[in-house]
């Protein structure tokens, strides 16, 4: 299990990945908004999206898990 | 001929004894002791591998700490790319490299030599710390090494390699040097290892968890580069030395000019997204400006929102700072400030020109950063720029807002030449934030506040934030196009290094 995390305190601006999606390394899973910058959240593992842990508009802290990827089904 | 070989000549009968005695002494001392654990090479082999082939000369090779063993360290000098360097290599085959009185004295002798003669020094660290059996004499010796480390800071570059488990004094001495390189899974740095940690606090942790290269090159920032092998550590050290003068005030290592990567130079005018909120890779921008050759990025995994690297421009060795929009939006925070300040300060100490490429959304505010002391750490960056007297060239490539504008090598901090790209924005804050404050009432009363805010922000961007106000006031020297950057910087460097008058 791999969790994509927030690299900075931010507002969740877009969620690109949906539960069940197949994703590969480097795919954009979500976009955060912080300091007026659009900060993409990339998949660092291949697999399928097992859980989206946040909602659009939610404030997340640095290190918070955002989206879980199950690597066993890669 | 190595130091091990004695010349074979036909000896007179009365010479035979002392010749064979010396041969025996050398063989005893130079005999290879098979390295323990994950180590592949002996201390002497490491020193020889670091320097140019056949150039290593050991100082005091017959010195002993008693019991027939060596002093615990192989110290000497050699050359890297033909330039002299002093090397200290801990000998883990003698008491696990623990630093006793004699070993400390041998290290201090090498440090004194490097400081007095003006040569860089490389410490190959593989030591458990102070030698307990030597008691206060070991502590006194370790303290002496630290004092020399500190004296050397103002005189010569110091590089530390962490090639084995380094505890206590063997971890503190590197912290007093300029750059620390760790070999993955083989080198650790900690105050004390797992057993004593367990006894002291009850915490159960492995040596890698307490002081591995992942911890120190990503999280703590104690070390500056992680490599996969000893050979890579030596290669990185030689590369690092290739950018540095041998001592403070010494001549810079000038190479012939190499054009920028042609593809990257071609992409430069369209590389930076117009929309200031969209991220891009600053490395691609640097590719289009710098000489297309060797570079060395330090602290790549720690505070990655700012890049610190050595490279060349028009053949000059330069230190480069650049915000990296691709990591955390390119913000400055406490860690990025400390990383950047340390790098600028180092460049200043050794007269390396500092090239600053700016695209910064600001200092990251909030409870977490204030708790980390972002004000104090950000101030270190201001201080480093002001105190650095080497040539300082700054170019704003997209946006520079507020305090972060000042901190990134601005004119007010003493940059020699400042440029701004024609599409850039320089302002106290970004257009969105500025209009929210300036037009608070109008926005509150508006039927469609979001639409009005966007319109006002667009006007603000063009009328207030574009770099022409700064250029008209002379705060930015000139507004330039991306493709003009390299030539402008090269001309400024020739002028500032007095080369144009040669």
pLDDT at B4 over 70: no
3-state helix, strand, coil in chain A (%, to 5): 5, 55, 45
Helices B135-153 and B101-117: crossing angle in degrees, nearest 10, is 10
Phi, psi of B299 (to 5 degrees): 55, 45
Measured in residues, chain B has a length of 502
B276 touches chain A (CB under 8 A): yes
All residues of chain A having their beta carbon less than 8 Å from the beta carbon of residue B362 are 35
Strand pairing class (A22-23; A47-52): antiparallel
B364–A35: do the CB atoms touch at under 8 Å? yes
pLDDT at B52 over 70: yes
A62–B368: do the CB atoms touch at under 8 Å? yes
B277–A61: do the CB atoms touch at under 8 Å? no
Burial status of residue A64 (CB atoms within 10 A of its CB: 0-12, 13-18, 19 or more): middle
- The answer regarding whether domain A2-73 maps to CATH 2.40.50.100 reads yes
3-state helix, strand, coil in chain B (%, to 5): 45, 20, 35
Q: How far apart are CA B258 and CA B200, in angstroms?
A: 56
For residue B12, the model assigns a pLDDT of 66
Nearest to B278 among A35, A38, A61 (CB): A38
* Nearest residue in A to B366, CA atom: A9
- List Cβ neighbours of B472 (8 Å cut-off, separation of 6 or more): none
Q: What is the DSSP string of B458-490?
A: HHHIIIIISTHHHHHTTSSSEEE-GGGHHHHHH
pLDDT tens-digit map of B181-206: 999 999 999 999 999 999 999 999 99
All residues of chain A having their beta carbon less than 8 Å from the beta carbon of residue B330 are 37
Nearest to A40 among B279, B364, B433 (CB): B279
All residues of chain A having their beta carbon less than 8 Å from the beta carbon of residue B430 are 36
pLDDT tens-digit map of B351-397: 999 999 999 999 999 999 999 999 999 999 999 999 999 999 999 99
Distance from CA of A32 to the nearest CA of B (A): 10
pLDDT at B8 over 80: no
Helical spans, DSSP H, in B154-250? 169-175, 194-201, 207-211, 213-214, 230-242
- Where on the phi/psi map is residue A44: left (φ > 0), alpha (ψ -120 to 50), or beta? alpha
Select from A9, A10, A37, A61 the residue whose CB has the most chain B CBs within 10 Å, as the one to mutate to test that interface.
A37
Q: What is the dihedral of CA B231, B90, B158, B313, to 10 degrees?
A: -10
pLDDT at B501 over 60: no
pLDDT at B9 over 90: no
pTM of the model: 0.94
- List Cβ neighbours of B84 (8 Å cut-off, separation of 6 or more): B77, B78, B117, B119, B246
All residues of chain B having their beta carbon less than 8 Å from the beta carbon of residue A41 are none
Q: In this predicted complex, what is the ipTM? A: 0.91
Residue with the two structure tokens 């990567």 = B261
pLDDT tens-digit map of B228-284: 999 999 999 999 999 999 999 999 999 999 999 999 999 999 999 988 899 999 999
B279–A8: do the CB atoms touch at under 8 Å? no
Pairs of residues, one from chain A and one from chain B, whose beta carbons lie less than 8 Å apart:
40
Q: Which two tokens stand for residue B107?
A: 């290290």
B364–A61: do the CB atoms touch at under 8 Å? no
Distance from CA of A57 to the nearest CA of B (A): 16
Which secondary structure element, helix H or strand E, spans residue B433, and what is its range? helix B431-438
Domains and CATH numbers, chain B: 19-242 (3.90.226.10), 262-424+466-501 (3.90.226.10)
B364–A8: do the CB atoms touch at under 8 Å? yes
- For chain A, the domains span 2-73
A37–B279: do the CB atoms touch at under 8 Å? yes
Q: How far apart are CA A66 and CA A60, in angstroms?
A: 8
- Spans of chain A, pLDDT less than 50: none
């Amino acid at each position: 299990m791999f969790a994509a995390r927030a690299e900075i305190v931010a507002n969740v601006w877009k969620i690109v990945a949906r539960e069940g999606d197949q994703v590969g390394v480097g795919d954009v899973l979500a976009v955060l908004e912080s300091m007026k910058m659009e900060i993409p959240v990339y998949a660092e593992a291949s697999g399928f999206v097992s859980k989206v842990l946040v909602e659009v508009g939610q404030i997340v802290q640095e290190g918070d898990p955002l989206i879980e990827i199950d690597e066993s089904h890669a | 001929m190595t130091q091990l070989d004695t010349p074979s000549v036909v000896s007179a009968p009365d010479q035979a004894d002392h010749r064979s005695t010396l041969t025996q002494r050398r063989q005893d001392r130079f005999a290879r002791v098979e390295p323990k654990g994950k180590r592949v090479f002996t201390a002497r082999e490491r020193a020889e591998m670091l320097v140019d082939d056949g150039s290593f000369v050991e100082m005091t090779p017959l010195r002993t700490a008693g019991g027939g063993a060596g002093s615990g360290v192989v110290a000497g000098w050699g050359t890297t790319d033909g330039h002299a360097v002093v090397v200290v290599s801990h000998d883990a085959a003698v008491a696990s490299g623990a630093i006793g009185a004699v070993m400390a004295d041998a290290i201090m002798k090498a440090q004194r030599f490097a400081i007095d003669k003006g040569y860089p020094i490389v410490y190959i660290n593989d030591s458990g710390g102070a030698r307990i059996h030597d008691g206060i004499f070991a502590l006194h010796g370790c303290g002496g090494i630290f004092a020399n480390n500190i004296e050397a800071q103002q005189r010569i570059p110091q590089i530390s390699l962490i090639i084995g488990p380094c505890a206590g004094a063997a971890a503190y001495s590197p912290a007093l040097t300029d750059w620390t390189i760790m070999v993955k899974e083989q080198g650790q740095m900690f105050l004390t290892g797992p057993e004593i940690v367990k006894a002291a606090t009850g915490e159960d942790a492995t040596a890698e968890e307490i002081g591995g290269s992942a911890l120190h090159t990503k999280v703590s920032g104690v070390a500056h580069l992680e490599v996969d092998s000893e050979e890579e550590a030596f290669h990185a050290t030689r590369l690092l030395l290739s950018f540095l003068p041998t001592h403070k005030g010494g001549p810079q290592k000038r190479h012939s000019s190499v054009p920028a990567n042609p593809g990257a130079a071609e992409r430069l005018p369209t590389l930076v997204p117009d929309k200031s909120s969209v991220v891009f890779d600053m490395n691609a921008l640097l590719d289009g400006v710098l000489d297309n050759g060797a570079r060395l990025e330090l602290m790549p995994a720690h505070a990655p929102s700012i890049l610190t690297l050595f490279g060349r421009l028009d053949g000059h060795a330069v230190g480069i700072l650049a915000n990296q929009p691709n990591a955390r939006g390119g913000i400055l925070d406490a860690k990025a400030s400390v990383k950047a300040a340390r790098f600028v300060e180092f460049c200043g100490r050794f007269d390396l020109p500092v090239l600053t490429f700016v695209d910064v959304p600001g200092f990251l505010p909030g409870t977490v950063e204030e708790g980390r002391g972002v004000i104090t750490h950000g101030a270190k960056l201001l201080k480093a720029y002001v105190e650095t007297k080497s040539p300082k060239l700054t170019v704003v490539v997209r946006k520079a807002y507020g305090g972060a504008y000042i901190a990134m090598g601005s004119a007010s901090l003493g940059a020699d030449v400042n440029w701004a790209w024609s599409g850039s924005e320089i302002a106290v804050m970004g257009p969105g934030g500025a209009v929210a404050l300036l037009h608070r009432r109008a926005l509150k009363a508006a039927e469609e506040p979001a639409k009005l805010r966007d319109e006002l922000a667009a006007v603000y961007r063009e009328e207030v934030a574009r770099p022409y106000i700064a250029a008209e006031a002379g705060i930015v020297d000139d507004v330039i196009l991306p493709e003009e950057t390299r030539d402008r910087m090269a001309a400024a460097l020739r002028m500032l290094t007095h080369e144009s008058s040669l």
